[in-house]
Structure 1
């Protein structure tokens, strides 16, 4: 072996030893993680990607043939890629209920917004209680809670007391209440760093819907 080759060989050996040590430590940690339960998952924050990430989990369940369901609280009848694909191809595995009529500044009818949010919450509870659903996505429910269309205490109480043990529930939307964050098992905050809206670029197909 040449003198030039020795440092490279030494670096590879050191790297392999380091990775072997890291794997052993990782395996030891993973061996302690034996429990399974249905998670309460919250996606919140000002950044884009809350619903997108949640739909990623819905499509994972679809890919595994596990029954799931989506209840949309705010988004109205506008066509979206996720909804169109699920209804066209995967309706036997994933139920899809668009219960909203648009954002409150569009409807400008608070009483109607409250009525629709309450109807969506009733449907959400029905789907969560259906133990054949492996995951239920409550899309934009945090917005309905923020405007007091739905009582946060009722939501947290229902999730704590009535959610089946192995059912995952995902709740999306900005400004998640502290009570919900406290009750959740997994919380991700999407942070806004840069957005094309600020440069005058409108929402575009394939990115926003």
Structure 2
């Protein structure tokens, strides 16, 4: 059992925390204004879409109109789709445009057509100034296979996205041009995954 802190220990801790707070307050005092962010979640680890949907739920909690365009998982019956369409459709539009991963559809031409349809819907939603957050789920996969033109996507986000609209793009292997244009980039690192031990995706965890 750890020894109890002495009065001197507690005083040192309080002093240290006070200095940290003063430094933090000084940093925050230099921040001002709002900005619509370009956000990228990429990397081989789990959590890219999960994090994006976490932000969608934050938007819903704040009463902020938002939207989802799914580029790959459109054929899946996911928990997030059930929740949003069943309970929050008035605040969050949900557009499932994909038909599965490339190795499932085995039809490159159709995959490209569906990716283009998804991107056209995404542009429509992003242009709407009433929608404050748009999640482009797994768009990085469509960009990786060149089903969409990366230069077109980056140019649109930089020139046509309303100033206060946030856009989150998820999927592994994000292209360097997108990473360079983004305001916030998080790379999910794979440390351990049950799939490698023969465990299939679990409801509530994977979908």
Q: Give TM class, smaller chain.
A: over 0.9
Name the structure 2 match of 1:163.
161
**Residue of structure 2 aligned with 1:56, choices 54, 57, 75:** 54
- In the TM superposition, what is the alpha-carbon distance from 1:77 to its structure 2 partner? 2.0
Name the structure 1 match of 2:98.
100
- In the TM superposition, what is the alpha-carbon distance from 1:76 to its structure 2 partner? 2.5
Name the structure 1 match of 2:24.
26
TM-score by length of 2: 0.97
Give the 3-state SS of the residue equivalent to 1:76 in structure 2: helix
- In the TM superposition, what is the alpha-carbon distance from 1:78 to its structure 2 partner? 1.7
Q: Deviations over 1:118-175 (max 9, x none)?
A: 0000000000000101100000000000000000000000000000000000000000
Name the structure 1 match of 2:8.
10
**Residue of structure 2 aligned with 1:46, choices 28, 39, 44:** 44
Give the Cα separation in 2 of the matches to 1:88 and 1:191. 32
Aligned residues: 205
- In the TM superposition, what is the alpha-carbon distance from 1:35 to its structure 2 partner? 2.5
Residue 130 (structure 2) pairs with residue 132 (structure 1)? yes
Unaligned runs of 5+ in 2: none
Unaligned runs of 5+ in 1: none
Pairwise CA RMSD: 1.2
